[in-house]
Amino acid sequence: MRLDGEVALVTGGGSGLGAATARLLAARGARVAVLDFDADRAAAVAGETGGLALQADVGDAASVAAAFAALESRFGTGPRLAVNCAGIADAARIVGRDGALSVELFQRVIRVNLTGSFIVMAHAARAMQGMAPMADGERGVIVHTASAAWEDGQVGQAAYAASKGGIASMCLPAARELARSGIRVMAIAPGLFRTPMMEALAPETTAAIAASIPFPARLGAPEEFALMVAQIAENAYLNGTVIRLDWAVRLPPR
């Protein structure tokens, strides 16, 4: 897929990996819709990229439907590329030290990360199915964000790892189902990236985390994640799989 002139939707586009992705896609000529739960952040990134700001709760189907309607009204078409970066990383032990259970946290993380990714994918797929195919028969590309925690989640990450594992697991069946429509589905499983969550840690903690990365021994730059999104869009033979973007790191138990 050539990105120049195409419409791209990035959820969680107001910060971190999503913001970097929105900026890179815009730099490559895409018309970008920046969707975020935080309307001010979405507006800020949309302002930078000359795109459209959308406020929505990805875990709510009606909210996502309204965002897609606004996107199609603005651009006159649905997205050729949909990138799911929206997510939360709430952590808690299954049974806390006080004996409390983390069921509500589990349900909240699954709702945003996994159900939200499915809802956006479903709306994007329906929109793409109604679009004319491009020269190679392709109608669109959907890119999800999993996590290295999908395979080696740490203590306190049962909910997060389950949500990201669900994203990874639905990638292949979704790709197989949507192949008949010329729609590819991929997922990226990032390792340790320099995001607002990581930057909130103490410098010594960040240094210790970076030291565990084989090579290069540093946190990933959000722009490197964005580059992988663009490479997936542009390489028509990538479909139905999860790419770990992690510099050969394996997360320890803690």
Query: Residue range 119-147: average pLDDT?
Result: 97
78 touches 68 (CB < 8 A): yes
The CA distances from residue 59 to 11, 17, 125, 159, in Å, are 12, 19, 17, 16
**Which overall architecture, per CATH, does domain 7-245 show?**
3-Layer(aba) Sandwich (3.40)
Q: How high is the mean pLDDT of the chain?
A: 94
Residues 6+ apart with CB under 8 A from 74: 33, 52
- Which sequence spans correspond to the domains of the chain? 7-245
Band (pLDDT 50/70/90 cuts) for residue 188 is: very high
**pLDDT tens by residue, 37-81:** 999 999 999 999 999 999 999 999 999 999 999 999 999 999 999
**49 closest CA partner among 2, 8, 83, 1:** 8
Residue of 68, 118, 160, 193 marked catalytic: 160
In the numeric block, which tokens belong to residue 177?
Answer: 């189902």
Whether 160 is catalytic: yes
The pLDDT assigned to 202 comes to 62
Q: Name the more confident of 153 and 198.
A: 153
